[in-house]
Structure 1
């Protein structure tokens, strides 16, 4: 059985959050739901603006998902 941390960092989920955050940086939003920006900041502990968080998530994906 997978732990909660393993499920939070599942490659498909991380990729989905990446693309949602990318769309949020150009002005789209998810409606009344929690933004991808706030989810990524909360789960990964990143700080900064949307573009800085997107850059940090890209770096994280390159080191952890695309080895």
Structure 2
């Protein structure tokens, strides 16, 4: 994860490239929502809202097939 303003970017390394695949957005103190980057480059919301650990765990679970793909 990499901070970017009020967002935490979730990135994947693919060879020499680094792709941002999802982000957590701080809504309030220790409250986050999530979105993933579509193939069109737009941010699509995910049905996630919780503290940082819950939000990160939920993103990892929902996007697991994509995050483990080579």
- TM class, shorter-length: 0.3 to 0.5
Scaled by the length of structure 2, what TM-score is found?
A: 0.38
Q: Which structure has greater helix proportion?
A: 1
Q: Which structure has greater strand proportion?
A: 2
Structure with larger RCO (C-alpha < 8 A, sep 6+): 1
Scaled by the length of structure 1, what TM-score is found?
A: 0.40
